[in-house]
Structure 1
Amino acid sequence: MRVLVVDPDPARAALVAEGLSGVDPLEVRHAAIFDEHEAALFEPDVVVVAADSPDRDTLDSLREASLANPRPVVMFVDRSEPGLAEEAVRAGVAAYVVDGLAAGRVRTVLEVAMSRFALMNQLRQDLEKAKADLASRKTVERAKALLMKERGLEEEEAYKLLRKLSMDTGRPLAAVASDLLAFAGVLKGGKA
């Protein structure tokens, strides 16, 4: 396991590393502040941020980093202001622990955070795929409707024609449907 510990306090960072003893293989790197470039070079499996209290700069950095390179992030803080836990979660933090940094808890918290991150990441991917599939279906339906109107075809015939064009060109059905709609728009004087 590769762990990046971000903490200005070396003693607290050592406590995190101590909590991971027995993990094999293990590589722990310590940084006083979060730097996405350094994190990307190290490629950690999990980032642990430990601090007295989370600051907005760190949360902003984590938010930007999670957009470009999502990875599980665990935050141990000594104290928290109202609303900061929610802000941390929105910044991509998988586990937010207040006043609970103890060597004996570190490994379990990291394992749960990594599992939760993997689950949430899979849900995000599934959602994006579902949205893309829905958009493709809408495009195919619009193309079928166009063929039905312009060529006087039944729905099944219009679908078979789209499917044949897809197979003949070796392109996905949605791409063929999208091209058909674009060409129809050009022929009617609309935008491509």
Structure 2
Amino acid sequence: MRVLVIDPDSARAALVAEGLAGVEPLEVRHAGAYDEAEAAAFAPDVVVVAAESPDRDTIDSLREASLSNPRPVVMFVDRSEPGFAEEAVRAGVAAYVVAGLTPGRVRDVLAVAISRFQLMHQLRKDLEKAKADLASRKTIERAKALLMKERGLEEGAAYKLLRKLSMDTGRPLGAVAADLLAFAGVLKGDQS
């Protein structure tokens, strides 16, 4: 396991490393502040941010990093201000632990955070796929309606024609429907 520990206090960072003792294989790297370029080069399995209290710069950096390179993040803070836990979770932090950094807890907290991250990552992928499928379905419905109107086809015949075009071209049905709508727009003089 590759662990990136972000903490300006090397003694507190050592507690994280101590809590991971016995994990094989293990590579722990320590940095005083979060730097996405360094994190990307190291490619950690999990990022542990330990601090006296969270700061907005770190949370903003984590938010930006989670958009381009999502990975499990755990925050151990000695104290927290109201609203910081919610901000951290929205920034992609999988576990936010206040006043709980002890070597005996590190491994379990990381395991839960990694599991939670994987679950949330899968849910996001499923949601994106569902949205794409819905958009494709709407496009197919619009293309069927166009064929029904322009060619005087029944719904089943319009769908069959779209499917045939899809199979003949080896392209997904949604892509064929989108092309049909785009061509119809061009022929009608639509600029959108």
TMscore range, shorter length: over 0.9
- Any stretches of 5+ residues in structure 2 without a counterpart? none
Q: Deviations over 1:85-131 (max 9, x none)?
A: 00000111000000000000000000000000000000000000000
Mapped partners of 1:23, 1:165: distance in 2: 55
Report the secondary structure of 2:92's partner residue.
coil
Q: Which residue of 1 aligns with 2:108?
A: 108
Report the secondary structure of 2:101's partner residue.
coil
**Which amino acid is 1:165 matched to?**
L
- Any stretches of 5+ residues in structure 1 without a counterpart? none
Mapped partners of 1:118, 1:79: distance in 2: 27
**Superposition TM-score, scaled by structure 2 size:** 0.99
Q: Which residue of 1 aligns with 2:142?
A: 142
Mapped partners of 1:176, 1:30: distance in 2: 51
Mapped partners of 2:86, 2:178: distance in 1: 40
**Which amino acid is 2:102 matched to?**
A
**Which amino acid is 1:81 matched to?**
E
**Which amino acid is 1:170 matched to?**
G
Give the Å deviation of 1:186.
Answer: 1.2
Q: Which residue of 2 aligns with 1:119?
A: 119
Report the secondary structure of 1:34's partner residue.
coil
Q: Which residue of 2 aligns with 1:79?
A: 79
Tell me the percent identity. Answer: 84
Q: Which residue of 2 aligns with 1:56?
A: 56
Give the Å deviation of 1:169.
Answer: 1.1
Runs of 4+ with deviation above 2 angstroms? none
Q: Which residue of 2 aligns with 1:27?
A: 27
RMSD of aligned residue pairs (Cα, Å): 0.6
Q: Which residue of 2 aligns with 1:173?
A: 173
Mapped partners of 1:28, 1:183: distance in 2: 56
Give the Å deviation of 1:66.
Answer: 0.5
How many residue pairs match? The answer is: 192
Q: Deviations over 1:133-167 (max 9, x none)?
A: 00000000000000001101000100010111111
**Superposition TM-score, scaled by structure 1 size:** 0.99
